[in-house]
Amino acid sequence: MNISQTISSQLERASWIRRMFEEGARMKLERGPENVYDFTLGNPDVEPPAQVLEALSRVVAERRPRTHGYMPNPGFPAVRQAVASQLCRNTGLPFEADDIFMTVGSAGACNVILKSILDPGDEVIVLMPCFSEYPFYITNHAGRMVQVESGEDFLPDVERIAAAITPRTRAILLNTPNNPTGRIYPESVLRDLDAMLARLDHDVLVISDEPYKHIVFDGNHQPEVAALITNSVVCNSWSKSQGLPGERIGYLALSPRLQGRPQLRGACAFTNRILGFINAPAIWQLVELEAMDATVDVSGYQRKRDLLCDELARIGYDVRKPEGTFYVFMKTPLADDIAFVRLLAHEGVLGVPGAGFGRGGYMRLSLTVPEEMIRKSFAGFAAAFRTAC
Ligand SMILES: Cc1ncc(COP(=O)(O)O)c(C=O)c1O
């Protein structure tokens, strides 16, 4: 049986992280795993907070009747109410339980909202560089991705976004704190975006994908997008904030100020079901009912950020410290990022070329690695820099 042409061509385009992963596996066999410094994967290396693990033990031990059955597709009512109350406190907006859909991670939330609003050929604006899965999420639902370059500082350029809007534009997909750039979008930019959208003659939805909301450094805060942008929905998860991406638990929240909110409520309950998720994992909804405010200690990520960025800058790399997330997005000394990533791999250091995120001339390094490995990688970074310059 042949696979579809669509998937076949997507596999080609999706292959950067996979290629680097395969390259890493090959190199580890060849050189020994201790001699390969793999910065490719963003997989949290901090254990979930004790509060979360204790809640998990309690929920499992409780033997509460009907824990393991089907439930309303958007999730347990008590859990949705608790998320709504948390959002009310944080944003000052009157979120209700019916605005909340428990989802299979933030990825599930993005797919639920896109499926709910897109007809074939509808356009979704994405700010470049972007999370490498967004193009596929949009084509999953027959949408068309319209790429808008972020400014030099990697912040949204509201004029460029305005120029890209057409009558077919249905949504703008924002991600802050941003993977791969590590930027936090400031309140002023979000306000400008809201003012621009208010002047349009049709509604454009802002989808705010925020799984790194609590992975922020130096006392920074991610502004509440729902409080600043009228027509918005929030996609969030506990994958990064509690270090449990394998458990697949998150939510979609519809802003109380959203146009067409009653219809969208029905649509999202339905799409969560027909995408095959049915509902988010029951046990993890009940855990979050007790532990949703807990977050991992981000000081380890910040320490590793400083260690890596300070040394890279000392070597001569053009690198800016991320404000949040656990990624460093660094300029490559060669304009051809793929060539430089190969050169670095030759020295035993693996990263993902910027091309994988739609921005050549850069590469992404993940901080979810041991500090010791970062230290050992410095010689390889220095050798590759000397060769390139
Ligand atoms: C920007 C962005 N959105 C969504 C996701 C998926 O998050 P989740 O594991 O919560 O589905 C990721 C994961 O890396 C991400 O980087």
- The percent of residues in the chain predicted with pLDDT above 70, rounded, is 100
**Predicted local distance difference test score (pLDDT) of residue 246:** 96
Q: What are φ and ψ of residue 37, in 5° steps?
A: -110, 100
pLDDT, tens digit, 9 for 90 and up, residues 315-364: 999 999 999 999 999 999 999 999 999 999 999 999 999 999 999 999 99
* Torsion from C-alpha of 185, 285, 246, 140, nearest 10 degrees: -70
Q: Taking 80 as the threshold, does the pLDDT of residue 49 lie above it?
A: yes
> pLDDT class for 9, splitting at 50, 70, 90?
confident
Q: How far apart are CA 377 and CA 366, in angstroms?
A: 13
Task: Tell me if 148 sits within 8 A of 161, measured CB to CB.
Answer: yes
Closest CA to 125 of 108, 142, 107, 138: 138
Percent of the chain scored above 90 by pLDDT? Answer: 90
CA distance 141 to 181: 26
The reply to whether ligand 1 has any atom less than 6 angstroms from the CB of 75 is no
Q: Residue 106: CB within 6 Å of ligand 1? A: yes
pLDDT in tens, 109-122: 999 999 999 999 99
Q: Are 52 and 287 in contact (CB under 8 A)?
A: yes
Per-residue confidence (pLDDT) for residue 22, from 0 to 100? 80
- Which atom from ligand 1 is nearest to the alpha carbon of 130? 1
Mean pLDDT of 51-55: 98
Ligand 1 pocket member 381 (CB < 6 A):
no
Alpha-carbon distance values, 325 to 107, 314, 383 (Å) = 16, 23, 27
What does the alpha-carbon distance between residue 267 and residue 284 come to, in Å, rounded to a whole number?
Answer: 24
CB neighbour class for 323 (10 Å; exposed up to 12, middle 13-18, buried from 19) = buried
Strand order through the sheet with 362-366: 327-331, 362-366, 352-353
pLDDT in tens, 225-253: 999 999 999 999 999 999 999 999 999 99
Ligand 1 and 179: CB distance under 6 A: yes
Q: Whose CA is nearest to atom 14 of ligand 1?
A: 42
> Is ligand 1 within 6 A of the CB of residue 242?
no
pTM of the full predicted structure? 0.96
Q: Which CATH architecture has domain 50-291?
A: 3-Layer(aba) Sandwich (3.40)
- Which residue from 305, 341, 333, 336 is spatially nearest to 317, judged by alpha carbons? 333
Position 13 scores a pLDDT of 78
Tell me the pLDDT of the chain averaged across its residues: 96
In the chain, % helix, strand, coil (3-state, to 5) comes to: 45, 15, 40
Q: How far is the CA of 383 from the centre of ligand 1 (A)?
A: 33
Structure confidence at residue 21 (pLDDT): 74
Instruction: Write down the CATH number for the domain with range 5-48+297-388.
Output: 3.90.1150.10
pLDDT, tens digit, 9 for 90 and up, residues 19-45: 777 888 888 898 898 899 999 988 999
Say if residue 136's pLDDT is above 80: yes
Q: What are phi and psi of 291, to 5 degrees?
A: -130, 20
CA dist., res. 143 & res. 352, Å (int): 27
**Cα distance between the two ends of the chain:** 49
Q: Which ligand 1 atom minimizes the distance to the CA of 238?
A: 10
Structure confidence at residue 51 as a pLDDT band (50, 70, 90): very high
Question: For residue 259, what pLDDT band results from cuts at 50, 70 and 90?
Answer: confident
Q: At which residue do the structure tokens 């309140």 appear?
A: 187
Domain ranges of the chain: 5-48+297-388, 50-291
The residue type found at 363 is: M
Q: How many CB atoms lie within 10 A of CB 161?
A: 22
Indicate if the pLDDT at residue 18 is higher than 80: no
